[in-house]
């Protein structure tokens, strides 16, 4: 997942608005494309963003330079998709213009692009690799099935999660886009391996079960991740700390005050 970049998911064919346009021009573009907002460019340089809400009570002849937003958050094409997701879900915006070092428009990355990237990365192959690791470490023969698990029964193995990513997982669950958890089931224990943000998000939403890849072990052996959980005093999802994400350095670089005029 960390290898996936904004350039892999952004839209390259972007409808944009020229700096010297008027409110009427933007309204016509909205009507023609069905989009509700556009980057504003001056000779390819991104100088602002204009959204439909910016045009409320604005006369058709008003230059958009007077009503557009100039305090922008933008993305770099080599930014990780995870960082872009954090920016989008923290800020509440739906689209980030993607620019080069000269602030020239290259594309746009939207919340739907981010969700598309997020739902791709849990796969049976990833689960099979984990099963192979269990075989080698514990000399067991795990079996895999896919079904819903009760999240209240899960033993967490991660001590903290981040609020911004938690909000993103809640959004995915509400839209029916959440990927499966990875859970190890052994006698008397259901161990959450992957999907802590999703599990806590479901709990916040009042959802009691989630789809999961379940790796079953018949032997009653304690796994290393269980000992780690015990050392961190983890027994239920309520023991996980929800942290406010300190902005990643890459994110900080994308927060630019764009000048115009």
Among 66, 84, 117, give the residue marking a domain's end. Answer: 117
Predicted confidence at residue 126, as pLDDT, reads 75
* 34 in a structural domain: yes
pTM above 0.85, yes or no: no
157 is written with which tokens? 């193995």
Residue that finishes a domain, picked among 54, 86, 117: 117
User: Is 251 part of any domain?
Assistant: no
CA 105 to centroid of chain Cα atoms: 22
Q: Do residue 47 and residue 149 come from a single domain?
A: no
Distance between CA atoms of 129 and 124, rounded to whole angstroms? 9
111, 152: one domain: no
By the 10 Å C-beta count (0-12 exposed, 13-18 middle, 19+ buried), 89 is classed as: buried
Residue 256 β-bridge partners: 72
pLDDT, position 248: 37
> What's the CA gap between 27 and 153, in Å, rounded?
52
Q: Is the pLDDT of residue 254 over 50?
A: no
What is the count of structural domains for the chain?
2
Residues 143 and 170 in one domain: yes
How does pLDDT run across 9-59, given as a tens digit for each residue?
A: 888 889 999 999 999 999 999 999 888 889 999 988 999 999 998 999 999
Has residue 245 got a pLDDT over 60?
no
Model confidence at 162, pLDDT cuts 50, 70, 90, reads confident
Q: What is the pLDDT of residues 84-129, one digit of tens each?
A: 887 877 777 778 899 999 999 999 998 777 766 665 455 667 788 8
Please indicate, yes or no, whether residues 30 and 111 belong to a single structural domain of this protein. yes
pLDDT at residue 256 tops 70: no
| E strand spans, the chain | 17-18, 37-42, 45-51, 71-73, 95-99, 105-110, 143-150, 154-155, 160-162, 181-186, 189-194, 209-216, 241-243, 255-257
Of the residues 117, 132, 154, which one is the last residue of a structural domain?
Answer: 117
Average pLDDT of span 237-257: 59
Q: How far apart are CA 16 and CA 6, in angstroms?
A: 19
Residue 106: CATH number of its domain: 3.10.580.10
Whole-number Å distance between alpha carbons of 186 and 192: 12
Which residues span the domain enclosing 153? 122-243
């Amino acid at each position: 997942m960390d290898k996936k970049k904004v350039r892999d998911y952004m839209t390259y064919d972007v409808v944009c608005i020229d700096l010297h346009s008027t409110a009427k021009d933007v309204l016509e573009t909205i009507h023609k494309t069905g989009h509700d907002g556009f980057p504003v460019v001056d000779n390819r340089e991104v100088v602002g963003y204009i959204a439909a809400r910016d045009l409320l009570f604005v006369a058709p002849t008003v230059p958009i330079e007077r009503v557009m937003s100039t305090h922008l958050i933008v993305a770099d094409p080599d930014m990780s998709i995870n960082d872009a997701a954090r920016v989008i879900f923290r800020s509440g915006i739906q689209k980030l213009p993607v620019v080069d070092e000269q602030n020239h428009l290259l594309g746009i990355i939207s919340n739907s692009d981010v969700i598309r990237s997020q739902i791709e990365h849990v796969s049976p192959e990833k689960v099979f690799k984990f099963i192979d690791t269990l075989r080698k470490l514990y000399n067991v023969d795990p079996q895999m099935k896919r079904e819903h698990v009760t999240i209240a029964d899960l033993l967490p193995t991660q001590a903290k999660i981040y609020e911004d990513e938690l909000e993103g997982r809640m959004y995915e669950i509400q839209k029916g886009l959440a990927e499966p958890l990875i859970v190890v089931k052994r006698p008397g224990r259901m161990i959450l391996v992957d999907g802590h943000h999703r599990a806590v998000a479901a709990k916040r939403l009042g959802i009691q079960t989630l789809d999961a890849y379940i790796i079953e072990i018949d032997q009653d052996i304690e796994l290393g991740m269980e000992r780690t959980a015990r050392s961190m005093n983890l027994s239920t999802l309520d023991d996980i700390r929800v942290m406010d994400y300190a902005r990643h350095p890459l994110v900080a670089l994308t927060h630019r005050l764009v000048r115009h005029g």
